[in-house]
Amino acid sequence: MKKKGALEISFAWIFAVVIGAIILFIAIFASVKLIGIGETQMGAKAGKEIGILLNPLETGFESAKSVSFTMPVLSRIYGRCDNEGNFGRQLIEVSQQSFNKWTQTDLEVQFPNKYIFNEEYVEGKKFYVFSKPFNFPFKVADLIFLTSSEKEYCFVNAPEEIQREIKGISQKNMLVENCSLNSIKICFESDTGCLISVDYNGKSVQKSSEKVYFEDDALMYAAIFSDKEIYECQVQRLMKRVNELSKLYQDKISVISRSGCNSNLGPELDALSSLAKGVQSSANLGFALISTVKTIEEDNSYASECKLW
């Protein structure tokens, strides 16, 4: 006899509900995974595209160059540095905003021949990329400085040549006058309310409690626009390339000597190579290294017909 109040569900219904739930679970799981893959794909594609976009920034003989690019959605560009191997590598990861959440992608695109200086991440839709060649004493690489249009940098009391250069590249978020109240102030002479202080003669940049050292204007911009960790890592990578290029020019000396071109730069290049190899941080860009660079630069400029670079 049927019990009063008892719910009678046939086996067929239980079976359908269980299987239905499994199908729904699999469908939702697969959709979530596919959305994740899609986001990773978009991030990786954006990272690669940014890297490719930076190719024309390799300058020829221009002193500095600036371009901008706009992302379709609000994005965060993470530019990381790894100094392992012969040249180290530049890593780019892009995270985009979707439904008010930042997509998590662990896929980093790598470029061993690029040197991008930025903060931990640069956020915005429009980004500015400014590049400047780094010579030490020969051209080593084009340094790339990545900033967001949402941040304005104000160079207060900058030396004449820096002011001229900033005005020349006309990058909208780098100003020397008429700065807004929210701008990040970069002071070249002691001034109050500065986030970044540059000691142009002492060749150092102070950011909150951190201090880094630079050698030329390219490295000064690098120190201004990047975090200490990224800056120090990129300096080490640049020194690795200096080491390899010094060896390359040493090999070139023996090739051009067959054509009657004799150069006495061999021992100096050898010294530069070992000094560059020993650089562990920007504080090592000291007197010995700089004087070697200057001597090589002078000697090469005197070699009228047989210049190495």
For other proteins, the binding residues (CB under 8 A) are 10-12, 15-16, 19-20, 23, 26-27, 30, 34, 37-38, 41, 45, 48-49, 52, 55-56, 58-61, 86-87, 110, 112-113, 138-141, 241, 244-245, 247-249, 251-252, 254-256, 259-261, 305-309
Of 259 and 264, which CB lies nearer to other proteins in the complex structure?
259
At how many degrees (to 10) do helices 217-225 and 160-169 cross? 70
The count of residues in the chain is 309
CB of 214 to other proteins, least distance (A): 20
Closer CB to other proteins, 12 or 181, in the complex: 12
Kindly tell me which of 56 and 286 has the beta carbon lying closer to other proteins.
56
* Residue number, 211 or 252, with CB nearest to other proteins: 252
Minimum distance of other proteins from residue 27's CB (angstroms): 7
CB of 22 to other proteins, least distance (A): 8
Q: Which two tokens stand for residue 302?
A: 């005197």
State the nearest-atom distance from the C-beta of 206 to other proteins, in Å: 31
Closest to other proteins by CB, 203 vs 237, is 237
User: By C-beta, is 78 or 138 nearer to other proteins?
Assistant: 138
**Tokens found for residue 249:** 């020019």
Work out how close the CB of 246 gets to other proteins at its nearest, in angstroms, rounded to a whole number.
11
Give the shortest CB-167-to-other proteins separation in angstroms.
24
Residue 282 burial (CB < 10 Å; 0-12/13-18/19+)? buried
Residue closer to other proteins (CB basis): 55 or 291? 55
User: Could you tell me how far CA 20 lies from the centroid of its own chain?
Assistant: 51
The single residue listed with the structure tokens 């980093």 is 108
Comparing CB distances to other proteins, the nearer of 186 and 279 is 279
**What is the CB neighbour count within 10 angstroms for residue 19?**
10
HEC assignment per residue over 13-47: HHHHHHHHHHHHHHHHHHHHHHHHHHHHHHHHHHH
Closest distance to other proteins from the beta carbon of 216 (Å): 15
Per the listing, tokens 């070249």 go with 188
Q: Minimal distance in Å, beta carbon 139 to other proteins? A: 5
